[in-house]
Amino acid sequence: MRFPHAIIGAAAVALLLSGCTSGSSGDATGPINLPEDPASVTGDISYAIWDVNQQPAMEKLIADFNTTYPNVDVSVELTAFPQYFTKLQTQGSSGTLPDVFWMNGPNLQLFASNDMLAPLEPFEDADLFDPSNYPSAMNDIYTYDGTQYGVPKDFDTIALFYNKAILARAGVEAPTADWTWDDYHAAAKKISDTLGGEGIIGSGDSTRNQENVYPAVLSNGGTIIDGDKSGYDSPEAVEALQFWADMVADGSSLTPAANADTEGFDRFLNGQVGLVWGGNWRVSGVLESAVAADVSVAELPLAPTGERKTVIHGVANAMSAHSDNPEAAQAFLSYLGSEEAALIQAEAGAANPAFNGTQQDFVDSAPGMNLQVFEDAATDYAEAYPVSKNTGAWNKVELDLLPQAFSGERPVADVAKDLADQMNEALAKEK
């Protein structure tokens, strides 16, 4: 094909322009020497987040940061979660990432392995960051190739939410720490059978990865990723998936289709569900709902192995490796990792802070709800949320295949085998 000179010319200009995109002035990887006088740190930095509900708390943090660093202007950049990482990738491909931004587990390795994030070693060397302040599983999630890249901001674990009023009406005892999967199933079944006529269903478990599938598989002694292989085709994992499929099959829990219509946890908030596994980020929604007074939290039931496990995940703050104002960004990131910042966050009720020993405000935010369960889970039986270098690739496979197992469309073992094969394929591509 031949093109007129004008277009070739324009294309050449574009080539030239886009050729020089990744160059950036910041030195974000060398030793850190923040000046003695905080007032001498100046300039503008940006802080990208995705949750509109946490924005006020983030503004409070910035205000507090400015009491020490009065001459740094931090602007919050809010992008809703569905587009957050699309935007971050686009920015990353041009070397224009925000100076400091929220990171999650599934995306950490992707950004870290492409040299997008500032490593935290220099912070440690300068006594600006200490990993022992955070749950070790959280540090693991944000470590790639032996180097940590994210300062844990908050953490979440999974526990069992239940609606006392619904349980009482169905004649079901409140769950205890001794409940097994069988007890859980029987209780859910009894609620569905007794109150089904009113549109109430026993369990609102939406067979989501983080809240249902991962905790069940791990509790049963299985794995999601084992080294560079999928763990889904192990007998332990298949048994765990079967547990959910059985729950769906006899009407104890919602079908995947019903979940797509109205998510299980939303039904719980509407008083249409008695039991549901959920993360602690759900608590603020519960407190605002009409069922707030009836809700309490218990440990997850024990798997047939006699064990219980939860995944632990949380958001971390990360700094761009190409920040134009590394000094200010370093100062801000260090501040975000401090106990002071964690306490402000907890007080604002925005999230359950990751800094060890700062969670009391969160636990106290709902005194009758027994929120200590989430904190104990983190210390006693939590495992790191499974991630790899390109988590998105196999998350899509899970999303495509798992509903087929839960809906009864295909035998669980077949789906698990398919899932493991396709996941292994995706994992092999990461090398």
Partner 1 sequence: MSETIERAGSGMQAAQAPAPGGGGATRLARKRHSPDGWWPALFILPLAAGIGLFYLWPLLQSVYYSFTEWGVFGGSTWTGVENYVRLMQDPDVLRAIVNTLVYTGILLVGIPIAVVFAALLNRPGLRFAMIYRTCFFLPYIAMPTAISMVWRIIYNNDYGVINSTLRVVGIEGPAWISTEWFSLVAVAIVGLWMSIGFNMIILSAGLKGIPPELYEASAIDGAGKGRQFRSITVPLLTPSIFFLSVMTFIAGFQLFDMLYALLGPTNPVMPKTQSLVFLFYDAAFGANEKGYASAIGVLILLIIGLFTLVQFRLQRRWVHYAD
Partner 2 sequence: MPINNMQTRNARGGSIAGHNRGAHVVLIIGSLLMIFPFLWQVKMSISTEADIMSIPPTLWPSSFEWNNFAEVFTRVPFLSQFWVSLAVTVLRTLAQLILCSMAGYAFARMHFRFKGILLAVLLSILMVPTQVYLIPQYQIVQSVGLLDTIAGIAAPGLFSAFGTFLMMQFFKAMPAELEQAARLDGCNSWQIFTRVMMPLAKPGLISLAIITVLASWNDLLWPLVVASSPDNMPLSVGLATLQGYQGSVDTGVLMAASLMAMAPILIVFVALQRRVVEGIAFAGLK
- What lies within 8 Å, CB to CB, of 288 at 6+ separation is none
Residue 82 touching partner 2 (CB under 8 A): yes
| CB of 329 closer than 8 Å to CB of 45 | yes
Find the distance separating the first CA and the last CA of the chain, reported in whole Å: 37
395 binds partner 2 (CB under 8 A): no
Structural element, H or E, at residue 67: helix 55-68
174 is a site residue for partner 1 (CB under 8 A)? no
Stretch that binds partner 1, among 5-13, 289-297, 356-364, 411-419 (CB under 8 A): 5-13
Q: Which amino acid is at 149?
A: Y
Distance of CA 104 to the CA centre of its chain: 6
Nearer residue to partner 2 within complex by CB, 77 or 376: 77
19 binds partner 1 per the rule CB under 8 A: no
For partner 1, the closer of residues 2 and 146 by Cβ is 2
- All residues at 6 or more sequence positions from 401 whose CB lies less than 8 Å from its CB, including other chains: 415, 418, 419, 422
Q: Which residue blocks in 196-338 are alpha helix, DSSP H?
A: 214-219, 235-249, 256-261, 264-269, 283-288, 326-336
Residue 257, interface with partner 2 (CB under 8 A)? no
Stretch that binds partner 1, among 79-87, 129-137, 362-370, 412-420 (CB under 8 A): 79-87
Question: Between residues 4 and 197, which has the closer beta carbon with respect to partner 2?
Answer: 4
By C-beta, is 33 or 86 nearer to partner 1? 86
Nearer to partner 2, 82 or 197 (CB): 82
Q: Which stretch binds partner 2 (CB under 8 A): 48-56, 296-304, 318-326, 407-415?
A: 48-56
Please, what's the b/e burial string for 196-228 (b: 16 or more CB within 10 A of its CB; e: otherwise)?
Answer: eeeebbbbbbbbbbbbbbbbbbbbbbbbbbeee
Q: Which of 44, 399, 425, 428 binds partner 1 (CB under 8 A)?
A: 399
Residue 5 burial (C-beta neighbours within 10 Å; 0-12, 13-18, 19+): exposed
129 near 330, Cβ under 8 Å?
no
Cβ neighbours for 92, distance < 8 A, ≥ 6 positions apart:
111, 114, 116
Site for partner 1 in 176-215 (CB under 8 A): 199, 208
Choose the stretch contacting partner 2; rule: CB under 8 A; options: 24-32, 128-136, 264-272, 334-342. Answer: 264-272
Q: Is 281 in the site for partner 2 (CB under 8 A)?
A: yes
Chain positions contacting partner 1, by CB under 8 A:
1-2, 4, 6-7, 9-11, 13-15, 21-22, 82, 85-86, 89, 92-93, 110, 114, 116, 199, 208, 256-262, 390, 392-393, 395-396, 399-400, 403-404, 407, 426
